[in-house]
Amino acid sequence: MEQKIYLDGKFVTRNEAKVSVFDHGLLYGDGVFEGIRAYGGKVFKLREHVERLYKSAKAIMLEIPMDGAKMEEIVLNTLIENGIEDGYVRVVVTRGEGDLGLDPRKCPRASVIVIADKIALYGDELTRNGIEVITVASQRSLPIVLDPRIKSLNYLNNIMAKIEAANAGVTEALMVTREGFVAECSGENIFIVTKGVFVTPPAFLGILEGITRNVVMELARAGGSEAREEIFTRYDVYNADECFVTGTAAEIVPVLKVDGRTIGSGKPGSATLSLVKKFRKLTAGEGTPIILRVSKSASRR
């Protein structure tokens, strides 16, 4: 089946999916996006992802040319068009075509792109064996400059961190704030577990408030554990019993070594592995069914 991409009201082939060189998303990273997962014919946390997309857009005064319900329809229809029941959906909203200047008023209409595809996960091997992480020099952007809760198309801060991790031969990069507090990884939130308590950095510190992050906290609490948002440093990470990262694509991945320090026993911890099982059970049973919905905003060619 040839891949179909939703582009501004139409489903087109991959080769036909093109944007203007004057699109402000391309020229300036001016736009927002979401990554969404589908499991077994259901879209996990679709409403939450769409709501976060619209919050990001509102923060940068970007008007999405449809309401949230219509966007949900388009996500589901894009999966249908591509025959995907287990996969990943990338929703991108750019400021649209303008000119070479910065002025967003020169962009009369936002552009909406939705891509559905299979996804290469970290996989069961890394869930079993865990990953190694290093702290990188690239610090997390200050919220006063560009709030990391805005899932914008400007991901250069994260990419610079990922480059440092790749150059060091490890899987992920740990980013800290200017004050030295742990923030998040290049593409995932981070948790530590100490004496049975799950701790993750608070949103106000300057992190993306992850959908999977919030689900993990709910699962931990439902299982009788304490889960809280709290500021901590690398010292706390080094001395934690367990550490793991979370994200839509990554799901839940154990971290076994940080900056050369072995975390806990050096193997995926029981609390982490228990959460992985609970999360997989949840994603297998919960979600919005992928059922074709008729939408006047989308046509086929």
Report the C-alpha gap between 239 and 107 in whole angstroms: 50
Report the C-alpha gap between 86 and 191 in whole angstroms: 26
Q: What is the CA radius of gyration of the chain?
A: 20
Active-site positions?
151
Contact in structure between 49 and 71 (CB atoms under 8 Å): no
Provide the b/e sequence for 288-300 (b: ≥16 CB within 10 Å): bebeeeebebbee
Contacts of 242 (CB under 8 A, 6+ apart): 192, 193, 254, 263, 264, 268, 269, 271, 272
Q: Which of 89, 123, 130, 171 is nearest to 280 (CA)?
A: 123
Question: Could you please report the per-residue DSSP string of 192-223?
Answer: EEETTEEEE--GGGT----HHHHHHHHHHHHT
Contacts of 247 (CB under 8 A, 6+ apart): 187, 188, 189, 210, 212
In the chain, how many H helices and how many E strands? 8, 17
Tokens for 138, please give them: 């690239």
Question: Could you please report the per-residue DSSP string of 17-52?
Answer: ----TTBHHHHH--EEEEEEEEETTEETTHHHHHHH
Tokens for 71, please give them: 């966007």
